[in-house]
Structure 1
Amino acid sequence: MTMLDVGASRDNARYAHLAENRERGDITLDRLSDREWRVTDRRLDEHDAPSVLGIIEQTDVGFTVLEINELVAQWTADTLDDAVSLFVTADQG
């Protein structure tokens, strides 16, 4: 195993830990247009690809959420706050 592999493995473990423990305050919305927002994890450098969590688009039926990770998932939410909450992964108990 080379040093590059060890660093990449550590980064992947860090990203996984952050993804499993994301609170509402960790999420930032960047307005792309009047009806679209990029969702990012503010704990990561904006130039790191894993910092982009997805896209939210306001439609006639609510807010369409496109989550980007290993797989791509799509949902619809009634409000922007509900849409953002879909990216929260930390136990709020």
Structure 2
Amino acid sequence: MVNTFFGSGGPACTVNGAEDTCLIPTEEDILVQPLSASQWRVLDRRLPETDACSLLGFVEENNQQFEVMLLRHGFQWFTFPSLAEALHQFIEPAGGLNSGEQQLSHSQPQFST
């Protein structure tokens, strides 16, 4: 059985048994919700917030760097020098996924205690 979830921008997430494929959102599809002065949740606005597929990941400012935890086929972490560059990681490039791919700094996040 295949279930396709639709939002305002068309199909966002297809679930087929244990497999699921989510389309990468465009800039207009993402919603950035502040959680604190240095933390943001990034959602796909094509889906209801109550749908687990809507959660794309998180951004946290730490030591003047912006750490991205991307929730796509597991967890991926990236570090960027600005919030705008960090948020760009959540959207599909204009030429399609993987076009103009940039070399990114991969690192484990440093959590504040």
1:53, 1:43 → 2: CA distance? 12
Deviation at 1:70, TM superposition (A): 2.4
Q: Secondary structure at the match of 2:4?
A: helix
1:33 partner amino acid: S
Aligned 1:7-86 pairs, distance under 5 A: 9-11=2-4, 14-15=12-13, 19-20=23-24, 22-86=25-89
Percent of paired sites with the same residue: 30
Moved runs in structure 1, 4+ residues, more than 6 A?
none
Number of aligned residue pairs: 84
1:14, 1:82 → 2: CA distance? 23
Going by fraction, where is strand more abundant, 1 or 2? 2
8 Å CA contact retained: 2:12, 2:46: no
1:68 partner amino acid: L
Which TM-score applies when normalising by structure 1?
Answer: 0.79
Q: CA RMSD in A?
A: 2.0
2:94 partner amino acid: Q
1:64, 1:19 → 2: CA distance? 22
| Long gaps (5+) in structure 2 | 6-10, 15-20, 96-113
| Long gaps (5+) in structure 1 | 1-5
Going by fraction, where is helix more abundant, 1 or 2? 1
Q: What is the aligned partner in structure 1 of residue 100 from structure 2?
A: none
Deviation at 1:25, TM superposition (A): 1.2
